[in-house]
Structure 1
């Protein structure tokens, strides 16, 4: 069965973007960007909510030829990676993507059962629909030293707690990485 990983850069107070939707406070340096590239390279499938897909599709397929190699590498990874995009409003997707407009929970259960590699979920809204169903196997947080005071929270409100086990930490120049598995 595939493992589903929920990953985000998050503010110290738990937000993935600020009140205006901006993520300009989370710009990775080269070391962190390389870590993201290497991690993304290992994934079989990347699950995207509509907003994240649109954000990524606006930039990564159009990286200039003179961009730094680390950016070109991620652009090639992102456009080539198998993606499943969950949206009720999009009518088409590109760059090795499949569009799913109904029942994200059931589709993710099916995707988990069809393989044995790793998948990631990107997009706080999509993740919020999966977390209460126990579909996330691992949480990866890149905690940035900023307090935003509002925005989109990484975690939805829950009826019961989720017990986690810390399995890895790593300090980068700009963030601290925490990796947790469900207990």
Structure 2
């Protein structure tokens, strides 16, 4: 069975973006960016919600020529990585992506059962639909030293506790990684 990872950069108060939807406060240092590139390289598949897909598709396929080699590497990784985009409003997707308009929970269950590698979910709303069903196996929280006071939370309100086991911490210049396994 495939292992599903939910990883995100968050503010100290747990938001993945600010009240305006901006992520301009998440400037990864080179070591952290390379860590993300290496991690992304190991994934079989990436799941995107509509907003994350639009954000990524706006920038990564068009990364400027003067971008760093780390950014150009990620741009190539992102455009080539197989992606499943969950949206009821998009009519088409590009860059090695497949659009799913129906039940995300059932599709993710099918994808988990359909292999034995690792894949990730990106997008707080998409992840929020999967968390209550116990579909996420690992959480990677990249905490940045900023308090936003509002925005989109990484975790949705839940009816019951979500027991996790801390398995790794790692300090980068611009964030701290907290890696947890679901119990």
TM-score (norm. length: structure 1): 0.99
Q: What do residues 68-96 of structure 1 show as CA deviations (whole Å, max 9, x unaligned)?
A: 11111000000000000000000000011
Deviation of 1:166 after TM superposition, in Å, equals 0.5
Q: Could you list the runs of 4 or more consecutive aligned residues of structure 1 that deviate by over 6 angstroms after TM superposition?
A: none
**Secondary structure at 1:99's aligned position in 2?**
strand
Structure 2: gaps (5+ residues): none
Match of 1:156 in 2: 156
Aligned residue pairs: how many? 183
Partner of 2:112: 112
2:169 is the counterpart of 1:166: no
- How far apart in 2 are the matches of 1:26 and 1:69? 19
Structure 1 position 16, deviation (Å): 0.3
State the alpha-carbon separation in 2 of the partners of residues 163 and 107 from structure 1: 24
Give the root-mean-square deviation of aligned CA atoms.
0.6
Q: Which runs of 5+ in 1 are unaligned?
A: none
How far is the alpha carbon of 1:40 from its aligned partner? 0.3
Report the CA distance between 1:65 and its aligned residue.
2.5
Q: Distance in 2 between matches of 1:55 and 1:144?
A: 20
Question: Matches of residues 1-183 of structure 1 in structure 2 within 5 Å?
Answer: 1-183=1-183
Q: C-alpha distance in 1, partners of 2:92/2:69?
A: 29
Aligned partner of residue 65 in structure 1, secondary structure: coil
Q: Whole-Å Cα distance in 2 between the matches of residues 39 and 133 of structure 1?
A: 25
Q: Please, what TM-score do these two structures have when normalized by structure 2?
A: 0.99
**Structure 1 position 64, deviation (Å):** 2.0
